[in-house]
Amino acid sequence: MTTIVELVAVSKHYPGGPTALDSVSVAFAAGTFTAVMGPSGSGKSTLLHCAAALDRPDGGRVLLAGQDLAGLREPRLTEVRRRRVGFVFQQYNLMDSLSVWHNVLLPQRLAGVRPDRGWAREVLRRVGLADRADERPARLSGGQRQRVALARALAGRPEVIFADEPTGALDLASGREVLALLREAVDDLGTTVVMVTHDPAAAGWADRVVFLADGRIVAELAAPTAELVAAHMTAVSAR
């Protein structure tokens, strides 16, 4: 199995704060769904930001599809991110001044490539929003907006989708829809998904769970279920 994202001894400090990441090494295999869990302040969001090249580590290396990101400068970094990575955030981060359709096409337009309209229509259909393409995001529900964000991530055929608490702001039913779509992306499209969550039920959709505490990886779990994850979390939190 090939590794698509690899962190080698990555450290990150924030001025005036505790060590966010303490020499973390972890690899994510292509076509897998990994959940990153941990208590608040464990460094899970930092791990995601470093892995996705949104933030620069203070030490260690980040390899995205074999390419070392440390040597890249903006805007090359943005280009790599744009080509290989898709994002889904808790706060959707859609452009309110653009319609759903234009939001979905936005990253490709910014990348200067001819948007694959057929594929964009297909992903919108997959997320169940084919008929809302001309709406403004502000007029959609939270679940619908998160599905637009997912469609936008998928439209660029990324190798990896990084999701930061994608269900954090959603009700249970909407959250399940989004998780099912992420699972589908892995199973049907072979995308790699790395998802930060604090919800054991959400982690239960993953192939593998990585537990973080105080900036270190403290446990791993393959083939997780919600119950197993919850038990591990209790153990991690109690350390």
Partner 1 sequence: MIRLALGTLRTHRAACAGTFFAAVLAVALLCGAGLLLASVLTAAPPADRFAAADAVVSGAREVTVTSSKHKKKDKTKTKTKTERLTGAGTLPAGLADRLRTVPGVTSVVADTAAPVRIATPDGRAVLGADDAPVVAHGWASAAVTPFTLRSGHAPGPGEVVLDADLAARAGDTLVLTSRTGVRTVRVAGVAAPAGRDALPAQGALFLADADVAAVTGLAGPTAVAVSGSGFTLPADAGTVLTGDEKVRADLPGALPDYIAPISIFGFVIGLTGFAAVFVLTGTVTLGVRQRLRELALLRTAGATPGQLRRLLGLESLLLAGLAALAGAPLGIPFAALVAARFRALGAVPAQFEVRVNVLVVLGAVLVGLLVAYTGARLAGRRAVRIAPTQALAETAVAPSGGVLTRVLAALVTTAGAVAVLTFVPLGGPLGMGMSFVATALLLCTVAALGPLAVRPLTAVVSRVLGAGGATGRLAAMITRAESRRVAAVAVPLVLMFALNAVMLLNGALLTDLATAEQAARTSPATGRAPGGMPLAEARRVATAPGVTGAAITLPTRAIVVRDGKPEDYAAQGLLTLGAEPVLDLAVTSGSLAGDGTFAASAYLADGYGWHVGDTVPVWLADGTEVPLRLAAVYDRARGFGDLVLPAELVAAHDAVGLTGPVWLWGGGASLSGAVVSSDADQQGAWELMVVVSLGFTAIAVVNTFAMAAAGRRREFADLRLAGATAGQLHRLAAREALITVAVGLLLGALVTGVVTGVFSVAQDGTLRLFADARTYLTMLGTVGGLGLLAGVLPTRFAVRSR
| Binding positions for partner 1, rule: CB under 8 A | 54, 74-75, 78-79, 81-82, 87, 89, 91-98, 102, 106-107, 109-112, 136-138, 142, 145, 152, 156
Of 34 and 90, CB closest to partner 1: 90
Minimum Å gap between C-beta 69 and partner 1 is 14
What six digits make up the tokens of 31? Answer: 């076509």
Distance of CA 102 to the CA centre of its chain: 21
CB 180, CB 198: distance < 8 Å: no
- CB nearer to partner 1: pick between 48 and 229: 48
Q: Which residue, 126 or 145, is less far from partner 1 as judged by CB?
A: 145
DSSP 127: T
Instruction: Report, in Å, the least distance between residue 56 CB and partner 1.
Output: 9
CB of 150 to partner 1, least distance (A): 13
CB 140, CB 148: distance < 8 Å: yes
Q: Look at the block and give the residue holding tokens 């941990």.
A: 38
| CB nearer to partner 1: pick between 96 and 220 | 96
Neighbour tally for 212: CB within 10 Å: 26
Kindly tell me which of 75 and 190 has the beta carbon lying closer to partner 1.
75
Strand bridging mode 59-64 / 33-37: unpaired
- Return the number of other C-beta atoms located less than 10 Å from residue 107's C-beta: 21
Q: How far is the CB of 48 from partner 1 (least distance, A)?
A: 12
Between 106 and 228, whose beta carbon lies closer to partner 1?
A: 106
Question: CB 115 → partner 1: shortest distance, Å?
Answer: 9
Torsion of CA 154, 155, 160, 162, to 10 degrees: -60
* E strands present in 104-166: 160-164
Q: Please name the residue that has the structure tokens 């959709």.
A: 205
Shortest distance (Å) from residue 75 CB to partner 1: 3
* Other CB atoms within 10 A of residue 187 CB: 11
